[in-house]
A = this chain, B = another copy of it.
């Protein structure tokens, strides 16, 4: 039974909880006990007798699997059983006989699991620091696997940096083990992680890295639970936070181990998982209190805000950026963006301030010429009129729009608007029908009848200039008065290195260069941010400098600081920046921040983002080859904005610690058309 049908959660938002069991050759009873009695959603069950060793078996003997495939229906196998491979398997042992037995068994068990149609198998954790032979064998299997997932079990450990000295060989960061394993397996899409949660947790920043990885399940041992005042299991605050993070990332929970709490009930003396075949009477499952607690944590979570719920389907989904200059937007797109009231509130604030600066109170009757360039269906015209009303200033508005389809609506909406304002007597509109003039023309080529005091535009993309705002405003600047105001007055792009295994795998699945050299708009969720972001390109409007160019070049150095001491900033916030010993960058998140007018900002850079705004997701620049970074050795990144006669594009590369290829040379893969 899924963990509650919570308010604010749709069915797709249910979370499941499984239980890890011992070997049992009566699978139907195992299932009945754990699912019906225990209310767990699935079992993680060994598929083969753990005493089996191929080298000890007589030739042509029957393999000691847990059960015949016939004991369950294929759909039961598929939905209720996750296979657990023999934990003695050790493919990197010094003992060759054990290695060979391990390889044979691994292949037999996975072949059997595949035959049963289980959805996933949990592979035992690598036994030492080396995992190349294990990875080689798993990689061979992955090449021929149909649909089944393989979850590599990884203990969630990282020794403290404090406890570590440079020459220590005992330093263990299980993330590094995972990183090697998946590199050896070429980031195979069917390979993910089952994290073993222990009673002590690594630092918050080390934990954060896992949220950029493909974690399928988190296995919580009963040892990790504390006891509350009434004798029931509960978790530490840090564990609670972690589990909540798992829920947020659709990671399944598995309870493992023997019951470690004496619940004041008759059933408390039952051993975990050792279901007594002779006991006929209905029993309470010994691990039920742990499940109940996990369910409680889930129930307690705040429901997702409506906007977040609306965006669930976009999480980590790669979209091509819009090309609003080359292509005409569709009505649906206008519809969506016009609903972003926060954005237009900011515009209205900026226009109001500009109007007040432009026209002192004693000259309030003067008319200000305001041009909305790229007016779309009119939201900025509305914001301008409302600013005029708010400040008591008189406006003459030109609304310039190149999309003839949008212009139709623009006519209707501007008439409605002025009519509405007139009705409300909010503004004294003499000759109101002349207030808004609609121009169906590309702003770059419009021959304006007069010059503007204020130029208002909303041409920004997720990366600021990526929808060619600079080129458009260069064209519009001709009809701005020398002392006129552009809203926005400037904008800056930002980038930030990410661990983003899901995004990387999705890009990689296309198996071509083009997709690795394209930037994507994406609602980022399953990512880890490795450092704070840094500014990249800034554009200011108007710009009357003589040798003006919209080409830009920026060299950035990101320091991945070491996770030393306990004075960590925001140590309570799981989603904070990772400062782990080593990270892997699969690409960069891009953002923008715009100065609309003076202190009125608008933007999506996480640390200063305008709240409750949904018009922009971040942008993702992938790297063809992930770059491993160490604390103390900076990640040097170069970004270029290049301009040709018919297109604008970005190029990017990593120069240090090791140089990457330069991505998107000459805009060969990705560009924005002029």
> Do B183 and A132 have beta carbons less than 8 Å apart?
no
Cβ contact within 8 Å between B553 and A666: no
Flag whether A661 is at the interface (Cβ < 8 A).
Answer: yes
With CB as the reference atom, state the residue of chain B lying closest to A135.
B662
Q: Is the CB of B184 within 8 A of A130?
A: no
Q: How many residues of A contact B (CB 8 A)?
A: 39
A143 near B658 with CB under 8 A, answer no
Complexed CA–CA distance, A181 and B655 (Å)? 9
B-side contacts of A184, CB under 8 Å: 653, 655, 659-662
* Nearest-neighbor residue (CB-CB) of A627 within chain B: B658
Within 8 A of B (CB), among A560-594: none
Is the pair A555, B132 in contact by a Cβ cutoff of 8 Å?
Answer: yes
In angstroms, how far is the closest chain B Cβ from the Cβ of A337? Answer: 34
- Complex CA distance for A371 and B547, rounded to whole angstroms: 86
Q: Does A136 contact B (CB under 8 A)?
A: yes
Most interface-central of A179, A185, A640, A658 (chain B CB within 10 A): A658
Q: Does A538 contact B (CB under 8 A)?
A: no
Q: Are A553 and B99 in contact (CB under 8 A)?
A: yes
Instruction: Tell whether, in the assembled complex, residue B179 and residue A143 are in contact, meaning their CB atoms are under 8 Å apart.
Output: no
In chain A, positions 429-445 with a C-beta closer than 8 Å to chain B are none
Known: A555-B130, A665-B139. A179 touches B640 (CB 8 A): no
A651, CB-defined interface residue at 8 Å: yes
How far apart are the CA atoms of A55 and B666 in the complex, in Å?
23
Q: Report how far A246 CA is from B260 CA in the complex, Å.
A: 74
Residues 628-674 of A contacting B (Cβ, < 8 Å): 628, 636, 638, 640, 651, 653, 655, 658-662, 665-666, 668
A-B CB contact pairs (8 Å), 22 listed: A55-B547, A100-B549, A130-B555, A132-B555, A132-B636, A133-B555, A135-B653, A135-B662, A136-B651, A136-B653, A140-B666, A143-B665, A143-B668, A144-B666, A180-B659, A183-B659, A184-B659, A184-B661, A184-B662, A186-B661, A625-B625, A628-B658
Please name 19 further chain A to chain B contacts, defined as beta carbons within 8 Å, in addition to the given A143-B665, A180-B655, sorted by A numbering: A55-B547, A132-B636, A132-B653, A132-B659, A132-B662, A133-B553, A135-B653, A136-B638, A139-B665, A140-B666, A143-B668, A183-B659, A183-B660, A184-B655, A184-B660, A184-B662, A185-B661, A185-B662, A186-B661
Question: Could you list which residues of chain A lie within 8 angstroms of chain B, going by C-beta atoms?
Answer: 55, 99-100, 130, 132-133, 135-136, 139-140, 143-144, 179-181, 183-186, 547, 549, 553, 555, 625, 628, 636, 638, 640, 651, 653, 655, 658-662, 665-666, 668
